[in-house]
Structure 1
Amino acid sequence: MELNTIKDAFDRVTKKQKLSSSKSQEVIEQLSQEIEEALLKLQSIPDTTFQANHKLILTELKTKLNEIAPLGQLEGTQKELNVALSKYPKLLEKSFNPDISKAYRNVDFDAHTVNQIIANHFYREGLFDLGDCFINEAKETEATAMRTPFLEMYQILDAMRARNLEPALNWAATNRDKLEQNGSDLELRLHRLQFVEMLQMRGRDEALNYARTFLAPFASNHMTEVQKLMACLLWAGRLDSSPYSELLSPSHWDKLAEELTRQFCNILGQSCESPLSVTIAAGVQGLPTLLKLMNVMTGKKQEWQSMKQLPVPVDLDREFQFHSIFVCPVSREQASEENPPMLLSCGHVLCKQSITKLSKNNSTRPFKCPYCPSEVEVAQCRQLYF
């Protein structure tokens, strides 16, 4: 794999650089030691014999420095480093083709939809001025629909950074039913954080009144959590030295902000991550494979433009895999409802159409598995569900 080759070349350069640096330090220490010894000898010479002996000491020092031969010692490691450094840029130029237009295909797309995606990305990232400017220049007034919801979300998050949970609590109360449907305990966690803050800042009485008003409704389903918070009342003013000091961790604020963002986007019917960011990140990972494919298909531009399916798989990280898929190892086609994955009796998996071709459309005729010596009957194959 090209990336492994590049990494190996980089590691060689790094190793040579460390060796060169280590050798340089070693030579400098040798020179320093000899000079310091000569200085000590000069300082120990009596004034009466200084004129006669200092030339002898300096002559000895010059001889020792010539024996060390610093330039000669450094020349070898520096030469190896220069060779590795000269090869590395050439490998990068060979591996990374800057002309990404080779991987471009003439695909029809709706500019209006693309503009909406870009505008939503700006609003999702909290860049409201930039989003407004883009919409005005692109004349996409419909794209402003997501501005208000995301503005509300960022106002809530800004308030949380200022240790103000009231906007978040109001939003959670308004969307209580939807949060429960999603299986989220966000509202309880917000009240827990508010209770701890109140216990720390205002004392036991106000914290107890807050618990009676806002935590009591959660007692039936979250009794253990509520009991733990009630035990915190015994440690009012010294919660940091209590068994419940973990509740004071700043990480709770960060985790709640992440959960609120996730649930806010979920209720809006939007993904937590920006679709534009995910698409670009996935494209960056897949681009080397597409460029390599185009280099192989040089001179077949028309075939590339008309190709409905890539002849090679594009491997992406797990963060870009949003649902389970299966690609038949024989036909290289992705499984579908019409062509589902089938488990053979030997344990290998093929798509239904591949099994039909291998068995010559005869359900009683055994066929050989393409990946092992086993004989398989169509009737023994079972459909897999992902």
Structure 2
Amino acid sequence: MELDSLREAFDRVIEKRASSSAKAQEVIDQIVNEVEQAITKMQMMNTDSMGSADHSSVLAELKAKLNELAPLNQLEGCQKELNVALSKYLKLLEKSFSPDISKAYRNVDFEASTINSIIANHFYRQGLFDLGDSFVCECGESDGAHLKFQFQEMYSILEAMQVRNLQPALSWAAKNHDQLLQNGSMLELKLHQLQFVEILTKGSRDEALKYARTHLVPFASLHKAEIQKLMACLLWAHRLDQSPYAEFMSSTHWEKLAEELTHQFCGLLGQSSESPLGVAISAGFQGLPTLLKLTTVMAAKKQEWQAMKQLPVPIDIGPEFQYHSVFVCPVLREQSSDENPPMLMPCGHVVSKQSIMKLSKSSSRPFKCPYCPSEAVASQCKQLHF
């Protein structure tokens, strides 16, 4: 992807910048060292009541040493390499990004209220409540604030977790106990585990044992092994960091649990854990260079890409933006669509519907699977749904 080449060029600029800075500091240190030595010599001469002629000799010696160091020549090479890397990066930026992106998107009529609601929800989802309120006030769309209070609750829980206060999170998990279990999440147990470890490390062994009997016992039947490890931690009270169970104290548990809580909280609200607006913009940003290049090529051929149902080239936006399975027919090498869905043959191989029609010549006659000796008829093939 073009973004990869941009990152590499940017990394080279950073590398050359660091090298140039280090070299400059080295030269400065050398100059300072020579000057300090000259000053020391002149101060010693003053104490010995020697004449100013000797000062002149020291200064002449300093000048000779500085000329020998040739600081400008030393810095010139590094600076030149930095300028070359920076120049290449700027040219690559100009080549990769076009100021006019109007050719790379379709004109779609969106309702202003829908867009405003999406933007407001994005601000609230990011915890920018003041900004979201200002936006809602200015656009006059009160519907955009319907998730504000739920996200305020979520961020208050996350802020409490940052200071190792699990009570708000535990209260929320207990209130949504049944729904979390239906989702297959053990968030509540993990919260109790962290709370148990906190009590054991900062409180007393008796308090930790009492907490375990109250809150961990209900999970014992399904999570016996985990709870046994926690009970073994009681033997290492106040020195858990020196025990075989020191990993329970890792800060990564808090970070992962905060991520899981965010995911589950948004899921129970019927929302994705990531901002839809942020995902759409990020995905569009990655796909934009390819689309711009495509529009340029097709314009030269006097073709209009916006009239196509399917783009002639794949848009690689990375696995983090792939939320659904995509099937590409191994025979026609085309991506499946509603009109050309994937079909499962009796032998277990999958090809597109158009491939089956071509192989069977649009009749009921048997045809051979392109990947094994098995034969099938079109009526035996079943459509797959991903």
TM-score by length of 2: 0.75
The question of whether the paired residues in 2 share the 8 Å contact of 1:328 and 1:335 is answered with no
Shift, 1:148, TM fit? 1.5
- Identity among equivalent pairs (%): 62
Tell me what 2:261 maps to.
260
Q: Within the alignment, does 1:288 sit opposite 2:281 as a pair?
A: no
Paired residue for 2:123?
Answer: 122
1:227 correspondence with 2:254:
no
Give the deviation of 1:181 after TM superposition: 1.3
Structure 1 residues 200 and 76: CA distance shift in structure 2, 3 A: closer
Paired AA for residue 146 in structure 1: L
Change (3 A) 1:89 1:154: closer
Q: 1:216 offset after TM fit, Å?
A: 1.0
- Between the aligned partners of 1:368 and 1:192, the Cα distance in structure 2 is 54
2:146 partner SS: helix
Q: Which deviations, in whole Å up to 9, do the C-alpha atoms of 1:216-259 show, x marking residues without a partner?
A: 11111111122222222222232222222222222222121111
Question: Does structure 2 conserve the Cα–Cα contact (< 8 Å) formed by 1:325 and 1:334?
Answer: yes
- Using the TM superposition, give the Cα deviation of residue 98 of structure 1 relative to its aligned residue in structure 2, in angstroms: 2.2
Unpaired stretches in structure 2, ≥5 consecutive residues: 36-52
- Opposite residue 323 of structure 2, the aligned amino acid is F
Q: Specify whether residues 363 and 148 from structure 1 end up closer, same or farther in structure 2 by C-alpha distance, changes over 3 A only.
A: same
Counterpart Cα distance in 1 of 2:293 and 2:366: 41
Change (3 A) 1:200 1:114: same
Match of 2:49 in 1: none
> Match of 2:206?
205
Question: CA 1:306/1:210 → structure 2, altered by over 3 Å: closer, same or farther?
Answer: same
Distance in 1 (alpha carbons) for counterparts of 2:170 and 2:336: 45
1:192-216 deviation digits (Å, cap 9, x = unpaired)? 1111212223312222211111111
State how many pairs are aligned.
378
Distance of 1:358 and 1:296 partners within structure 2: 34
Name the structure 2 match of 1:241. 242
Structure 2 counterpart of 1:335: 337
Instruction: Report the secondary structure of 1:297's partner residue.
Output: helix
CA drift at 1:355: 4.2
Query: Is residue 105–residue 304 contact of structure 1 (8 Å, CA) maintained in 2?
Result: no
Separation in structure 1 between the aligned mates of residue 277 and residue 147 of structure 2, nearest angstrom: 15
CA–CA distance in structure 2, aligned partners of residues 336 and 274 of structure 1: 28
Deviations along 1:333-375, one digit per CA (max 9) or x if unpaired, are: 4333752256799x8x652214424664245486997xx9x99
Partner AA of 2:139 in structure 1? A
Question: How many Å separate the matches in 1 of 2:328 and 2:231?
Answer: 55
Structure 2 match to 1:187: 188
Partners of 1:74 and 1:115 in 2: CA distance: 53
**TM-score normalised according to structure 1 size:** 0.75
C-alpha displacement of 1:291:
0.7
Aligned to 2:146: 145
Residue 112 of structure 2 corresponds to: 111
Higher mean C-alpha deviation, range 239-248 or range 73-82: 73-82
| 2:114 counterpart letter in structure 1 | T
Where 1:298 maps in the other structure, the secondary structure is helix
Q: 1:341 to 1:287 in 2, by over 3 A?
A: farther
Distance 1:201 1:298 in 2: 69
SS of equivalent residue, structure 2 residue 147: helix
Corresponding residue number in structure 2 for 1:41: none
Amino acid at match of 2:174: A
Give the whole-Å Cα distance in 2 for the aligned partners of 1:251 and 1:318: 24
Counterpart residue type for residue 139 of structure 1: G
Question: 1:157: which partner in 2?
Answer: 158
**1:278 alignment counterpart:** 279
Contact 1:364 1:377 in 2 (8 A): no
Letter in 2 for 1:176: H
RMSD, aligned α-carbons: 4.7
Aligned CA distance change for structure 1 residues 162 and 298 (closer, same or farther; 3 Å) = same
Contact 1:106 1:305 in 2 (8 A): no
- The aligned residue for residue 99 of structure 2 is 98
Which residue of the partner structure matches residue 46 of structure 1? none
Amino acid at match of 1:325: V
Whichever residue aligns with residue 237 of structure 2, its letter is A
Letter in 2 for 1:125: Q
Counterpart contact for 1:363–1:377, Cα < 8 Å: no
- Report deviation, 1:169: 0.8
